[in-house]
A and B are shown apart, each in its own frame.
Chain A
């Protein structure tokens, strides 16, 4: 089990969000470049090379870390953008590069052996053999676990592997094994693995139909809201569909992962770092969530109960879940 306190790893889609995360108590901030090399490739987000350099300088001055996600899968015939992203992350002093693709891990290991490599959640390494493979073959020092394991399974896993684990603690939640989902691609032609987008806004349309609002993604209706219902963004796996004549949120309700009440359990399970999802979020969101988790981690480290936190307002659909960490979710 880890003796060090939990590291709080926070999202930044912009330099302003990076500063907000650091000010709110992030131990590390993770970012991506402004292209398809990272899994949050949305308009107006992400960092230029100079912005990354400045962000790393600012964070290092305050004793914090910056991780760079290069975590989509390089396109066949066009490895250049991904390799340059790895080169530049290493050259600009990133404290770790977060990678999912085997070929890119191999490139990073050969070209930048000194650069710390983390295995992205998009690699979906869900068992000890898979994690050992990435450690032995590519010198991966930390693995971000897919959101498929219970806390008990995470504890068992940590006892068997030679690397640190990082787990998602708050924010958007994939209900499918990460990096193994082509639903968005099937409906929009734009893919998390290849394009770094899921259910992209460019393919979302809202249509008014009498007293109802229809949300569509590509050619498919993802939800229909009455006027008195809260609307949610049409992420495919959080849509309402009909199976066997019955409409339901078959995959998952619009909801956010929130493991704040499980911090002591995750610490006891030997987890090294907690990750907040949300590089697509604004700095106010980042500040609020990071602050709440900073206070909760500090309290847990002192053996005190978690202070009250009001994250309800920033959860999807004002709802949260402990997801796969609780076995009953399956």
Chain B
């Protein structure tokens, strides 16, 4: 089951969703720049505006290193914008010349109107009509919701007037709130959170009272406990016309993960063998692919190698 060879398919690295120490953050991207076969790297804070000041000093050198390595750099913006301070930060990015911005709230889409931009996965694009409206306003790429089934993805790909990106690896962002559940788990308020989300580089596992692993908490964001893995579905995604494949950064060896996906996209490696290698390597959590198959997102559907 070697995938249809598609060297033109782009492999992308979504923004780091977790609160990593600033130096870890910087070194992660340096290594991506130097070693990872990804085409596009998204940078910036999507989850909580309180985290951004820590890594922001490193943004210019990280962007430069990625550019130097031939990667397209995209600046990602916050998913939930409530305060004027948060809006100002988005306004500044939207006004900056010569950069490509990923809008994760409709306010940012509005600010970017008439200029090429990426519509991020936190803007609801569920159907052709919405996608068309956004493309008419300048969306050059649309990152689709992780909740969409293969059937919906195929319908969107058929009508696409822009590049489409699908999330194929990592814990899936499922919800965003103004309330910080990391702080709450530590009996703290969001305002005095002590940045406890930094304790969990891949999110804080949440179990049911019966001890089943269920979700993962990442500050104000709630994620899947399972790790999405669509390496076995890449072939079908390529055939339906999806052009970009997003990996969400985790603390595991992401350079190795990018190489595995690249090998399958290029038709060099067998998807089943890639699955087995990912299973050995990426021990974040058990894999799931349910949303793609139109079922519970938590499920792993189909025969695994």
- Residue positions of A touching B, CB distance < 8 A: 73-77, 79, 100-104, 106-107, 123-130, 132-134, 137, 148-149, 153, 156, 175-177, 179-183, 185-189, 191, 193-194, 214, 218-224, 237, 239-244, 246-248, 250-252, 324, 328-330
B177 to chain A minimum Cβ distance, whole angstroms, is 5
Contact across chains for A189 and B209 when beta carbons are under 8 A apart: no
6 contacts across the A-B interface (CB closer than 8 A): A75-B126, A79-B129, A124-B80, A129-B111, A148-B177, A242-B211
Q: Which 5 A-B pairs have the closest CB atoms?
A: A103-B129, A129-B107, A77-B155, A133-B110, A103-B130
Contact across chains for A223 and B209 when beta carbons are under 8 A apart: yes
Interface check B208, CB cutoff 8 A: yes
Contact across chains for B177 and A103 when beta carbons are under 8 A apart: no
Contact across chains for A219 and B296 when beta carbons are under 8 A apart: yes
Name the contact of B175 in the complex, choosing from A127, A128, A183 (C-beta under 8 A): A183
A216 to chain B minimum Cβ distance, whole angstroms, is 9
B4-59 residues at the A interface, CB under 8 angstroms: none
A15–B270 alpha-carbon span in the complex (Å): 58
Between B122, B206, B209, B298, the greatest number of chain A beta carbons within 10 A of the residue's beta carbon is seen for: B209
A301 to chain B minimum Cβ distance, whole angstroms, is 30
Contact across chains for B152 and A77 when beta carbons are under 8 A apart: yes
**Chain B: which residue is nearest A77 at the CB level?**
B155
Task: Give the size category of B's interface with A.
Answer: 35 or more
Contact across chains for A187 and B175 when beta carbons are under 8 A apart: no
Interface check B98, CB cutoff 8 A: no
Contact across chains for B152 and A148 when beta carbons are under 8 A apart: no
Given that A133-B110, A182-B147 are contacting pairs, would A250 and B185 also be in contact in the complex, using a CB cutoff of 8 Å?
yes
Contact across chains for B298 and A186 when beta carbons are under 8 A apart: yes
Contact across chains for A176 and B107 when beta carbons are under 8 A apart: no
- Residue positions of B touching A, CB distance < 8 A: 79-84, 87, 105-111, 122, 124, 126-134, 145-148, 151-153, 155-156, 172, 174-181, 184-186, 189-191, 204-212, 214-215, 217, 222, 224, 290-291, 294-299
Contact across chains for A177 and B175 when beta carbons are under 8 A apart: yes
Name the contact of A74 in the complex, choosing from B126, B145, B174, B212 (C-beta under 8 A): B126
Contact across chains for A222 and B222 when beta carbons are under 8 A apart: no
**Chain B residue contacts of A194, Cβ below 8 A:** 126, 147
Contact across chains for A101 and B127 when beta carbons are under 8 A apart: yes
A123–B106 alpha-carbon span in the complex (Å): 9
A79–B84 alpha-carbon span in the complex (Å): 36
**Chain A residue contacts of B106, Cβ below 8 A:** 102, 123, 125, 130, 133-134
A220–B211 alpha-carbon span in the complex (Å): 10
Name the contact of B207 in the complex, choosing from A149, A186, A189, A241 (C-beta under 8 A): A241
A246–B151 alpha-carbon span in the complex (Å): 40
B76 to chain A minimum Cβ distance, whole angstroms, is 16
Contact across chains for A186 and B296 when beta carbons are under 8 A apart: yes
**Chain A residue contacts of B87, Cβ below 8 A:** 127-129
Known: A123-B124, A185-B147. 18 other contacts (CB 8 A): A73-B130, A77-B128, A104-B130, A129-B110, A133-B110, A148-B80, A176-B175, A177-B175, A180-B124, A181-B175, A182-B174, A186-B224, A186-B290, A186-B298, A193-B124, A237-B175, A242-B207, A243-B185
**Chain A residue contacts of B111, Cβ below 8 A:** 129
Given that A185-B147, A241-B207 are contacting pairs, would A76 and B178 also be in contact in the complex, using a CB cutoff of 8 Å?
no
Given that A76-B127, A221-B209, A330-B189 are contacting pairs, would A185 and B291 also be in contact in the complex, using a CB cutoff of 8 Å?
yes
B134 to chain A minimum Cβ distance, whole angstroms, is 7
A220 to chain B minimum Cβ distance, whole angstroms, is 5
**Chain A: which residue is nearest B226 at the CB level?**
A186
A222–B214 alpha-carbon span in the complex (Å): 10
B176 to chain A minimum Cβ distance, whole angstroms, is 5
**Chain B residue contacts of A133, Cβ below 8 A:** 106-107, 109-110
